[in-house]
Amino acid sequence: MSVSQANWTQPGATLSHKNACKEFGIEESEIIEAIRRGRLQYKENYAHGNPYFRLLRDEVEKFAKEMH
């Protein structure tokens, strides 16, 4: 998966893995497995010292459609 840097910086193009679970009705374990298999790109971020994965919205949307 080759994605330009612009996709990571455009407003609304990314979301946290927690919000992805809520918005698309998928489990955190499914997201982690997709990351491990290389199906979802991610960047690790921190909020108040807590780690979370930042994901590309279009990839998560495609992944969620495949899961359901």
Per-residue pLDDT at 21 = 97
Q: Is residue 19 part of a domain?
A: yes
If one counts the domains in the chain, the total is 1
Quote the CA–CA distance of 9 and 25 in Å, as a whole number.
25
Mapping DSSP to helix (H, G, I), strand (E, B) and coil, where does residue 25 land? Answer: coil
pLDDT in tens, 2-49: 455 558 999 999 999 999 999 999 999 999 999 999 999 999 999 999
In a domain, 56, yes or no: yes
Q: Rounded distance, CA 55 to CA 35, Å? A: 10
Matching residue, tokens 């994901």: 55
39 belongs to a structural domain: yes
Q: Whole domain around residue 23: which residue ranges?
A: 13-67
Q: What is the pLDDT of residue 1?
A: 47
- Say if 2 falls within a structural domain: no
24 assigned to some structural domain: yes
Q: Is residue 44 part of a domain?
A: yes
Does any domain span residue 21?
A: yes
